[in-house]
Structure 1
């Protein structure tokens, strides 16, 4: 299995699990539908996004599903965890709805499709 296939598989499973939690607790309406649609669209990406895009997706996803960053500072040599946490922290107090919209727009840009499903 290639790195891209592994990434897609793990990320889609993670998104599926997280989206189940979002649908149970979120009252965001239109944004939640666009967010869920964007998660499905991401599975159709033919080329693996670069690390910067992956970090943006990660940060927006975490902000949309959890809210403001609540993770402790990672170890000094855990560079991946630090990059992820820094990306999430960079969103500050962004609302969950804004994060869902941003995630949907970023996925649309990556997949080259227009329209996020929200009106």
Structure 2
């Protein structure tokens, strides 16, 4: 992974906290999932129970990215945040 990509990703993470408008829930889930895939890798966590709707939505969004490389997830995250800015 290039240092440039990592630096651009970290800048996008900082930028994500200062967006002028709060993204819709679907976009927020995508931001969360791309961040987790980029920083943790494939979702190996236990799926939350039915009572935890938010947790399940986050888990599902992250699980959909299984097999995506950290570099690809970082680039997609950067592109998404830039499109929202």
Which category describes the TM-score, using the shorter chain as reference length? over 0.9
User: Residue 78 in 1 paired to residue 85 in 2?
Assistant: no
Long gaps (5+) in structure 1: 1-26, 112-119
The ranges of structure 1 where at least 4 consecutive aligned residues each deviate by more than 3 angstroms after the TM superposition are none
Larger Rg: 1
Gaps of 5+ in 2: none
Q: How many residues were matched structurally?
A: 85
The Cα RMSD (Å) is: 1.1
Farther off after superposition, 48-57 or 27-36: 27-36
Partner of 2:20, secondary structure, is coil
User: TM-score, structure 2 length as denominator?
Assistant: 0.93
Q: Which residue of 1 aligns with 2:10?
A: 36
The corresponding residue for 2:64 is 90
Q: How much does 1:39 deviate?
A: 1.2
1:61 is displaced (CA, Å) by 0.1
